[in-house]
A and B are shown apart, each in its own frame.
Chain A
Amino acid sequence: MKLTILTGVTGLLLFVVIIELLRRRQLGEKYAILWLAVGLVVLPLAAFPRLFDGPARALGVASGISLVLFLGFVFLLLVCVHLSWEVNRLEEETRTLAEDVALLRTETEARAVSDQQ
């Protein structure tokens, strides 16, 4: 029973936080859908903790809980790799913008000088 409460509260909390962030427009749909999907997996586990025992045994994993932990770990790892990739892309974009700003400033300054002469 305690496990049901723990899993249920965690799943609900995740839902509430994500929907609140969406409502305040602080999270784009792209990531919101990802985390809502995680919530959809966690919530049924509250009602049926043995839900994953069948698929776990089919994959050679001793219990459903272990399978959930393993999949959770792989999922988080993938999210981290994705975020690193995303940060890299943003860095490349801001770098290009910084160069553009520098070039534009140099052009306008040169034009101002030649206008004065």
Chain B
Amino acid sequence: MINNKRVLIVTPAWNEAGAIYQVIRELRGELPGADVLVVDDGSSDDTARLAHAAGAAVAHLPYNLGVGGAMRLGYRYGRDHDFDVVIQLDADGQHDPRYVPKLVDAIDDADLVIGSRFADRDNDYRVRGPRRWAMRLLAAVISLIAHTRLTDTTSGFRAANRRTIELFAGWYPVEYLGDTVETLVYAARRGFRIRQVPVAMRARIAGAPSHSPIKSMIYLGRAFAILLLALIRR
């Protein structure tokens, strides 16, 4: 229990053996009142065993579905076990578990809370070039749809209340960026209240971020496509 709410933390993990043990140990230490479910997204390494050893419940997907597939599984688990709040938290150690209670508090007057990396001015999370333009554009358009100021629409650190858990347990896209951007548009257009809470990001424990300009351009194109599709879809 966190603030009288039954909280489930869902961590989608695909070949995260380098970080998962430490991330789950820290989660368990910081938030003893929360349940932790690691969704092993068809990993070929030791991710599942290490997550289990660190004290998390583990759900194995038989093959890799992507973050969207792993998260729908998490929301279905949360719905079936009557959790009040489902928190999505990445397995690479970038999300600081100490912000989880802040997200849980914010869910009192919102259906979906986003941990935003850009809401705070003295945050050291910086992005440049086409990727930055893409993120700016997404933030501007989705803020309009959601009638609230959102600065980080691709954040994978979010909290969902009961109503949103029900929605996402039945529908959650698997495409890249669909799991973040499209879900926001989908929820906002159905009148779900979305709020953001500033969070600081940490360096990831394992794995490297991508900085190539070509990849950034592809990212921009995909972001556009996903956004346009989300807007014309029913």
Contacts and interface: CB of A to CB of B under 8 A. Distances in A.
Interface in B53-93: 57-63, 65, 69, 72-73, 76-77, 80
A106 B58 contact: yes
A114 to B, nearest CB: 12
B106 interface: no
A95 B174 CA distance: 9
A95 B58 contact: no
Contacts of A106: 37, 57-60, 77
Nearest to B58: A106
A101 B80 contact: no
A6 interface: no
B100 interface: no
B60 A105 contact: yes
Contacts of A98: 61-63, 65, 69
Interface in A60-110: 95, 98-99, 101-103, 105-106, 110
Contacts of A103: 59, 73, 76-77, 80
B60 A102 contact: yes
Contacts of B73: 99, 102-103
Contacts of A95: 65, 69, 174
A103 B63 CA distance: 14
B181 interface: no
A99 B63 contact: no
B39 interface: yes
Interface of B: 37, 39, 57-63, 65, 69, 72-73, 76-77, 80, 174
14 contacts: A95-B174, A99-B61, A99-B76, A102-B60, A102-B61, A102-B73, A103-B59, A103-B76, A103-B77, A105-B59, A105-B60, A106-B57, A106-B59, A106-B60
Interface of A: 95, 98-99, 101-103, 105-106, 110
Task: For the complex of A and B, list the 3 residue pairs with the smallest distance between their C-beta atoms, beginning with the closest.
Answer: A102-B59, A106-B59, A99-B73
